[in-house]
A and B are shown apart, each in its own frame.
Chain A
Amino acid sequence: MSDQVETQKHPRPLSPHIQIYRWTLTMVLSILHRATGVALYAGTALLAGWLLAAASGEEAYAVVQSISTAWYGRLVLFGYSWALFHHMFGGLRHFIWDTGRGFDLRHVEIIARVTAFVPPVLTIVVWVLAYSYLGAF
């Protein structure tokens, strides 16, 4: 009997897939660093659109402005700014690891909490500042 038939009859045990594990903060952060990286990647198209519109003239810029100031535009920008801060702090976490430090459980947990909770705070601070420049308060 060939090896292949043998494996078909008695499948090799597989290591448990992701849904088997209990969710942990570090795991969520690892996934989010990748997800925010990909979101930032896609969002550079928005940056290009904004710059091209500014370079093209007042009418094109007005179109972009009407989208970016609409509620859905604001929502995307809010999400984008959080993604940027989240990814930035995830990157800082990688820098600490790259030096060979911060791998013991206690520090892993401390660093994870900081990188999870500081970015949302910064995002809100930035938006409060932006709205105050807008003259909202």
Chain B
Amino acid sequence: MSDMRTPLSRARGLGSAKKGTHHFWMQRVTALANIPLTLFLVGALVVHAGADYATMTAFLGNPLVGVVMLLLIVSAIYHMRLGLQVVIEDYIHGEASKLLALIANNFFALTIGVACCVAVLKLVTAQ
């Protein structure tokens, strides 16, 4: 007994969640994007160690920096939302608690993401 799926479902390749490899793939794409983006943030924080408010906001207000920061926020938030979904599905088995945890995951990710974006946009437009 090698495969219980019908030829049609095999051809569609979407699996039981009907999303196919989309989740896996987006996890990898965002992971790849996260590498240069987080390295940018780490580097920026290192060279601004001890910087005062004016210097820091001038840096964060630079439109190019704003673009990279927004990309970082979108990629990292999307990535962590996908990642935590898998963690939740692995450990929380009750239907109701699983659903609640998945919703909480979405709310947290969206709230943090929007908060970061608003802050970055304000810093850029304040310049």
A91 CB contacts on chain B under 8 angstroms = 31, 34-35
Interface size on A, residues (CB 8 A): 31
Q: Which residue of B lies closest to A65 (CB)?
A: B53
**In the complex, are the beta carbons of A129 and B46 less than 8 A apart?**
yes
Chain B CB within 10 Å, residue with most, of A37, A40, A54: A54
**In the complex, are the beta carbons of B38 and A133 less than 8 A apart?**
no
Tell me the complex Cα distance, A91–B60, Å: 28
Interface size on B, residues (CB 8 A): 33
Q: Does A70 contact B (CB under 8 A)?
A: no
Partner-binding segment picked from A3-11, A20-28, A43-51, A106-114: A43-51
Partner among A47, A48, A95, A131 whose Cβ is within 8 Å of the Cβ of B28:
A95
B118 CB contacts on chain A under 8 angstroms = 52, 55
**In the complex, are the beta carbons of A37 and B28 less than 8 A apart?**
no
Chain B CB within 10 Å, residue with most, of A37, A48, A135: A48
Q: Does B68 contact A (CB under 8 A)?
A: no
* Interface flags, A45-77, vs B, CB<8A=1, else 0: 101100110110010011000000000000000
Closest Cβ–Cβ distance, residue A82 to chain B (whole Å): 11
A104 CB contacts on chain B under 8 angstroms = none
Tell me the complex Cα distance, A54–B48, Å: 14
**In the complex, are the beta carbons of A126 and B80 less than 8 A apart?**
no
Chain B CB within 10 Å, residue with most, of A37, A40, A55, A88: A55
A14 CB contacts on chain B under 8 angstroms = none
Tell me the complex Cα distance, A45–B77, Å: 11
Closest Cβ–Cβ distance, residue A45 to chain B (whole Å): 6
Contact flag A135-B50 (CB < 8 Å), given A45-B112, A98-B28: yes
Q: A51-B123, A54-B123 are in contact. List 9 more A-B contacts (CB 8 A).
A: A44-B76, A45-B112, A47-B116, A52-B119, A54-B60, A84-B42, A91-B35, A133-B47, A133-B49
